[in-house]
Structure 1
Amino acid sequence: MNRTQAFKYTVYICSAAFLAACNVPKIKEKIASTNTLPDSYVGHADSTNIALTNWNDYFADPFLRRLIDSALNNNQELNIMLQEIKMSANEVMARKGEYLPFVGAKAGAGVEKRSEYTTLGAAERQVDIRDGKENPDPMPDLTASLFANWEIDIWNKLHNAAQSAQLRYLSSIEGKNFMVTNLVGEIANLYYELLSLDQQLLLLNQTLKLQSDALDLVKLQKTATRVTELAVKKFEAEVYMTEGRQYEIAQQILETENKLNYLVGQYPQHIARSTDGLDFKYLPTIDEGLPAQLLGNRPDIREAELHMAASKLDVKVAKAKFYPALGISASFGYQAFNPAYLIKTPQSLIYSLTGDLIAPLINKKAIQADYLNANAQQIQSVYVYEQKLLNAYIEVANQLSKFNNMRNLNTIKGKQVGALTESVQISYDLFNSAHADYMEVLMTQRDAIEAKFELIESQRSQFIAVVDLYRSLGGGWR
């Protein structure tokens, strides 16, 4: 076999090997469907959307605004997320650096003693042709050089990896925006809960005053033998029950304040707030817009969309690992055994240029596993995206229904409280005229108190529904 034939066979073998290396398993990617969103939420289409409103304009209560502003600056979890974003940006920089040439400098010094009875050892014992002196023993080795390595991105593997990192960096920003949305909503909800607890405590204080007056009246009636000691004890027990509830509400107020303190990033202290309770002049208006606007307003949906795009690129990166990789390495410098000769040119000059074409041939299971995993993650990211869409629409629909139902419930509860308040006075009048017993008075009084508590709760639910609707639509992060 001559050299020409040997070369041809070598080319054939290498070509067959490269073709075998390029054998990529078949997969099936999934594409997200966004045309399943309904055209509207409640049957009417209006593009006006409260999600486009800045939180500072949406919430009119100045105390609430100050809390949100402080939290956006001092919340530890949000600051941790900001560091995550910085790390994502650094990852982008690292991926971009991989498809650019790497150039470095190298300097080294060493010494080696070889046996005189070897080829290299005997050669080192020769006389230096420059000065007629024998070469030093042991032989020093001094090197100073520049070197470069570069993988030619012929399949866009490195470029796609950099683009994937860029998309994940953008998704981390959307993750931060989603955290801001939730943080704004959580602070507003806790603030309104605090105001409702203040109203409940005020109601208990007023009720305790009325119950104490009623207890004094019953004691006078016992002295006049109109009622027994049992009536006195029943009224006294009601007073104690109301006093106990005061402590329960006080504890809830303290815990709610500390939840706000934690979100704001400060140690426990009094939370400044409105003394008017749940004032409906501060209740924001609602405009839900169109479901299609969720795609641009909800940070979690945009985050999932970016993850989906990054996952598609990850599949391409994993696929490119089946193909041959072309690498180029080069070096240029000086090498000598004597410092005086180190920069002699061209005698001490060294350089090299190497190109490598590497492809996997046998046992590609690790590469195949990475490729199949990347494809599975791409399909998974589509399902996550579709899940986010469905969840967002359902959240908005729930909060719209809740707001309307709580508004109607407030009207009914207001009428109930009015009727029971009148019945309390009527029961007192009947009791004083001996036309009703003390149990009727106590039960009517208890029903009135519970109805007032329920009215406060339904009012709080209406405020929270407005906040949750704002959050569900994607408001708060702007």
Structure 2
Amino acid sequence: MRLTLGGILLFLTSCTASLPLVTTPRATAVPTAFQNPAADTATIARLDWQQFFADSALVSLIDTALRANPDLGIALQRVEQARAGLLVARGALFPQVSAGAVGSFDKFADYSGVGNSDTNDGLRQLPSIVPDLFLGFRSTWEIDLWGKLRSRRKAAYARLLATEQGRRLVQTQLVAQVASGYYELLTYDNQLAVLEKNRAYQERALEVVKIQKLGGRATELAVQQFAAQLLRTRSLAAEARQRIAASENTLNRLLGRYPQPIRRGRVLTMQTVPAAVSAGMPAAMLLRRPDVQQAELQLVAARADVAAARAAFLPSLTLGPYFGINAYTPALLLSTPGSLAYGLLAGVAAPVLNRSAVRAGYARSAAEQRAAYLNYQKTIQTGFEEVTTNLRGLENYREVADLRQQEVNALTNAVATANDLYRANYANYLEVITAQRSVLDAELNLTAVRRQQFLLLIDLYRALGGGWTVAQ
């Protein structure tokens, strides 16, 4: 049977046509609006982090983190790695030219047909050891007939853009982490202030009950109860100081520096949460979130990989020209034009016996494309979940904060009333202790609610894609 080049090409092309197409699950429709009646086309994510955060101390901390955080530096190096990968993919489209010098020698057998003569005396025309010297240029160039190399270049470019979005994602997360850590530090400061204030009240109450015991108006049990409450408050204060130290160390690590004091701005009670927060439209969120953009670009790269894998079944055309000077002795190497040598080697190669490996590569690329598509859908759904949860959380915790503030006010009045009644012998010491403990717990709970408000606001800003607009 006679095989022709056209027949081989037709056979290989028909094999690629029989490959299964990559199918992806049906996408869920994206909502046209968030579940928030106050949403409009504006969004807080349009604000730079320098404008979004009004505390100058926090702005300074974020600026330090963006300049020195190791994770952000690692993300930047990933961008450089992807940029180098793109240069490699681009270079594959052009001829590879190398310059070099090659030296070799061959020792021919006495009965070899190379270098022997047919003369009667049997003398060799060449010596038994023959050197071969070459100095010049060699090139290899794969002609991209089916777009395989162009697809690889497209995939590399998409991955470069994806790593840039990954760097922006790291920045948005870093901004949110620093801001959250800062407000947690302010929360612990406020908790310590509340504990110290109540400690002072409890110390005065203990002194009063000790005096009353000396006058016969109180018992040793009352003194022990007031002392036990004071000890509890002191232990809570010690725990708060430890939380402050741990929070400062965490912030310093995010800032890329060793432990040192953190400068604070306004205290937590002086910080305000906006009365209304605008999330904008879902389409704007999808365009701004770096993780969504990264997932989309990874999907583009995966599709290009599938196209390159399909093209790998088809034959590749490779050209190998060379040009230089060639001689069997150094004395003749520069004797041009006699020593000039040039040539061209062209070859067509296609997988035949190892097609299972090529098919496995195609199957892997197809699976990676489906996984990238599912990851893209998952990232979009995660974005909607985060935005909706934070919007609802801000609304609900605003009501919680108002109610907790009313609780603190009521219990503060109850402590004053209990003290007055105790001094007038209309209340016992247990009522005073209960009132003091209740107001302490209420103030600590109010502090935690305020912290949660700021954490929700920060996470909403991040979820909407805010935090990366400032150029580095």
CA distance in 1, matches of 2:199, 2:118: 108
Aligned residues: 466
CA distance in 2, matches of 1:332, 1:451: 88
After superposition, the CA RMSD in angstroms is 2.3
State the one-letter code of the partner of 2:281.
L
Aligned to 2:416: 425
Do the aligned residues in 2 keep the contact of 1:328 with 1:353 (CA within 8 Å)? yes
Q: Deviations over 1:217-259 (max 9, x none)?
A: 1011111111210000010111111111111000000000000
* Aligned counterpart for 2:192 among listed residues 196, 201, 209: 201
CA distance in 2, matches of 1:161, 1:390: 30
* Aligned counterpart for 1:443 among listed residues 396, 410, 434: 434
Distance 1:425 1:343, change over 3 A: same
Q: How far off is 1:394 after superposition?
A: 1.0
1:49 aligns with 2:43: yes
* Aligned counterpart for 2:252 among listed residues 258, 261, 278: 261
CA distance in 2, matches of 1:254, 1:75: 20
1:364 aligns with 2:355: yes
Aligned to 1:3: none
Describe the SS at the equivalent of 1:149: strand
CA distance in 2, matches of 1:283, 1:44: 13
Describe the SS at the equivalent of 1:118: coil
Moved more, 340-349 or 442-451: 340-349
Aligned to 1:130: none
State the one-letter code of the partner of 1:85.
V
CA distance in 2, matches of 1:402, 1:345: 85
Q: Deviations over 1:110-159 (max 9, x none)?
A: 3333233322243599xxxxxxx986663222111211111110111001
1:171 aligns with 2:162: yes
Q: Deviations over 1:423-469 (max 9, x none)?
A: 10111111111111111110111001100111111111111111111
1:272 aligns with 2:263: yes
Pairs within 5 Å for 1:142-153: 142-153=133-144
Pairs within 5 Å for 1:4-403: 10=4, 14=8, 17-19=11-13, 21-22=15-16, 24-30=18-24, 33=27, 35-122=29-116, 138-281=129-272, 286-403=277-394
Q: How far off is 1:179 after superposition?
A: 0.7
Describe the SS at the equivalent of 2:196: helix
Q: Deviations over 1:280-316 (max 9, x none)?
A: 3475962111111111110000000101111111110
Do the aligned residues in 2 keep the contact of 1:124 with 1:135 (CA within 8 Å)? no
Q: Deviations over 1:343-382 (max 9, x none)?
A: 3344323222122111222341111111112111111111
CA distance in 2, matches of 1:39, 1:272: 40
Distance 1:273 1:19, change over 3 A: closer
CA distance in 1, matches of 2:9, 2:49: 63
Describe the SS at the equivalent of 2:392: helix
Distance 1:316 1:9, change over 3 A: closer
CA distance in 2, matches of 1:86, 1:67: 26
Distance 1:34 1:251, change over 3 A: same
Q: Deviations over 1:48-73 (max 9, x none)?
A: 11111100111110000000000000
Do the aligned residues in 2 keep the contact of 1:24 with 1:319 (CA within 8 Å)? no
TM-score, normalised via structure 2 length: 0.93
CA distance in 2, matches of 1:302, 1:32: 20
CA distance in 1, matches of 2:239, 2:360: 58
CA distance in 2, matches of 1:124, 1:83: 68
Aligned to 1:463: 454
Distance 1:219 1:163, change over 3 A: same
CA distance in 1, matches of 2:383, 2:389: 10
Do the aligned residues in 1 keep the contact of 2:55 with 2:266 (CA within 8 Å)? no
Q: How far off is 1:33 after superposition?
A: 4.0
Task: Could you tell me which runs of 5 or more consecutive residues in structure 2 were left unpaired when the two chains were aligned.
Answer: none
CA distance in 1, matches of 2:65, 2:281: 30
CA distance in 2, matches of 1:113, 1:327: 32
CA distance in 2, matches of 1:428, 1:205: 19
State the one-letter code of the partner of 1:147.
R
CA distance in 2, matches of 1:100, 1:15: 24
Do the aligned residues in 2 keep the contact of 1:68 with 1:184 (CA within 8 Å)? yes
Do the aligned residues in 2 keep the contact of 1:143 with 1:336 (CA within 8 Å)? yes
TM-score, normalised via structure 1 length: 0.92
Q: How far off is 1:398 after superposition?
A: 0.6
Describe the SS at the equivalent of 2:467: coil
Do the aligned residues in 2 keep the contact of 1:41 with 1:290 (CA within 8 Å)? no
CA distance in 2, matches of 1:352, 1:124: 30
Distance 1:28 1:112, change over 3 A: closer
CA distance in 1, matches of 2:468, 2:196: 40
CA distance in 2, matches of 1:44, 1:176: 32
Indicate the percent of aligned positions where both proteins have the same amino acid: 34
CA distance in 2, matches of 1:172, 1:379: 20
Do the aligned residues in 1 keep the contact of 2:273 with 2:454 (CA within 8 Å)? no
CA distance in 2, matches of 1:105, 1:299: 45
Moved more, 32-41 or 198-207: 32-41
